[in-house]
Amino acid sequence: MGNRIICMSKKDKYDNGGVKTSRSSRKMLTEEEILHRQALSIVVQQHQQRLTSQRFDNGSMSRRIGSATGSRRRDLSESFSNGKPLSEFLESIKEKRIVLVHGEGFGAWCWYKTIALLEESGLLPTALDLSGSGIDLTDPNNITTMADYAKPLIKYLENLQEDDGKVILVGHSSGGACISYALEHFSNKISKAIFLCATMVSNGQKPFDVFAEELGSADLFLQESKFLTYGNGKDKPPTGLMFEKEQLKGLYFHQSPSKDVALAMVSMRPIPLQPLMEKASLSIENYGIGRRFYIQTLEDNALSADVQEKMVRENPPEGVFKIKGSDHCPFFSKPQSLHKILLEIAQIP
């Protein structure tokens, strides 16, 4: 099946924190400010909850923050033009459940803009905290396998009933390895898997191998990196990874609004390292029958456009979409463009 390649335009209503002078734009900025405050409030609550060691559900983040293809290249805005209102466009979406899986160091909190936009469009988004992330209290140093790391996602899919229908999975960054793992074990419950500037690994490949394209070999990185944590002692292999704030800003957020960067700086947690070093075991019978789509971010410093293009070339998905002007976190830097692409993929028959 040929690749579907779609390139987003640079016009995002209020991406990049741009300030417009119209009344409607001021209203949007006010609404976005409210969303920011709600998200920050939740982060503070989560921090307090972790300090008091209260137990919470390891599954989805239940709080809502705010209410066959060709290979031609075109602007996604065509899908919403041609005189058709969005309501008619959405009628073609069969599966309305979208599960959002964050990447390394993030949590369900990072999807707050995407959750609000999807809900406003009549879809049913659920954002999960992976093990050791967000408000999940698992010690990241004790997460040693992909099965451990993806446990909340696996639990969600196990509990999904036939009457619920299939779901669309969206995986960001290393979350791509988690949705690949889910495709291998629950392909019958997943209608589409969307890799958002993500580690779309092939069989036998480590998720870290993808980042090694940028960072150097895994062995060299482990020898020289000063960002590693040793939960089992310095004489044992490293168990986690955490970049310094300034490096995070340059790698992940150089196109994101400052308020979202501030949110990330107080919310990100150490990254469990061992799951990223685990070789993927993916079969043609399970993973191979899944419908995969890839969204590339063209100004990404953490996972360059070249590396993303290489993944797409070596492990071809059904469709490829591109977001111009986005850093590694399009849910912050280009939320409207990301939203439109998610809708576009959701309505593909």
Regarding beta strands 240-241 and 228-229, do their DSSP bridges make them parallel or antiparallel, or are they unpaired? antiparallel
Q: Of 60, 173, 187, 267, which is the active-site residue?
A: 173
Q: Report the alpha-carbon distance of residue 106 to residue 111 in Å, rounded.
A: 10
Integer Cα distance of 248 and 327 in angstroms:
12
92 as an active site residue: the answer is no
CA-nearest of 151, 155, 175, 100 to 338 is: 100
Q: How many CB atoms lie within 10 A of CB 21?
A: 6
Q: Which of 129, 148, 209, 300 is catalytic?
A: 300
Residues forming a β-bridge with 310 = none
108 contacts 134 by C-beta, under 8 angstroms = yes
Q: Given strand 240-241, what is the order of strands in its sheet?
A: 228-229, 240-241, 271-272
Answer for the pair 251, 299: CB distance below 8 angstroms, yes or no: no
Joined tokens for residue 195: 């890799």
Tallying the residues shown for the chain, one arrives at 349
The two three-digit tokens of residue 250, written as one number: 């340059």
Pairing assessment for the beta strands 271-272 and 167-172 based on DSSP bridges: unpaired
Active site residue 328: yes
Burial letters 242-269, b for 16+ CB under 10 A, else e? bbeeeebbebbbbbbbebbbebbeebbb
Distance separating alpha carbons of residues 5 and 320, to the nearest angstrom: 5
Angle CA(107)–CA(32)–CA(102) in degrees, nearest 5? 15
Query: Cα-flanking dihedrals φ and ψ of residue 204, to 5°?
Result: 85, 0
Catalytic residue among 180, 328, 333, 337: 328
- Cα(15)–Cα(325) distance, integer angstroms: 10
The C-alpha R_g of the chain, in whole angstroms, comes to: 19
Residue 300 appears among annotated catalytic residues: yes
Tokens found for residue 154: 């696996």
Position 176, amino acid: G
* Catalytic residue set: 173, 300, 328
